[in-house]
Amino acid sequence: MIRPVTCTIDVPQSRERVFEHLELLADHERFTDHFLVEWSVSGPPRGVGAKARMRLKKPGPADWLEMEVVAAEPPARSVEESVSARGRRLTRGTYALEPTAEGGTRVSFTLAWLRAPLGERIGASLTRAVTRRANARSLRRLADELALADLDPDRVKQPEEEGKR
């Protein structure tokens, strides 16, 4: 199987603040829309049972993902599982939040493949490199989004406040 990919970033916000942002699954769209597009959410808006459907932005046939939050341990960890590639790909994404000595949070995201199509297994090094690049960018965008929300809390509105989802 493909070895997991982990990306990490340190942010000045507390674990509680970061977890609050990550537990609302619809918020993930804003920091992952460079590679995950056409989002729709269902189920509870936050926590275990929250679901989203989105398309992987890539050449070729549309690759839709069905994602669900399957575990949450506030404010330390959130786990989501995704099924895609017409059921041939099953992944588990885990956000781990650790306090830093400076009072901020070390955010780590690990994507593990539980099942993968043959082509991705054969090209595992390329699959991992593309995934690492996309997820590292997502974490940088998450850090930017958290910083903007600290400067202007009204700038980043919750979807239920906007009436969008």
Q: What is the CATH number of the domain that holds 141?
A: 3.30.530.20
- Domain-located, residue 157: no
SS3 35: coil
DSSP bridge pairs for 96: 77, 108
- Domain-located, residue 158: no
- Domain-located, residue 159: no
Output the pTM of the full model. 0.90
- Domain-located, residue 25: yes
Structural domains counted in the chain? 1
DSSP tag of 27: G
pLDDT at position 159, please? 46
Q: What is the pLDDT of residues 3-44, one digit of tens each?
A: 999 999 999 999 999 999 999 999 999 999 999 999 999 999
- Domain-located, residue 48: yes
The boundaries of the domain holding residue 27 are 5-151
Give the alpha-carbon dihedral of 127, 138, 19, 113, to 10 degrees.
Answer: -10
Element (H, E) at 57: none
- Domain-located, residue 91: yes
Q: Are 56 and 34 in contact (CB under 8 A)?
A: no
- Domain-located, residue 119: yes
* Ranges of the chain whose pLDDT falls below 50: 158-165
- Domain-located, residue 164: no
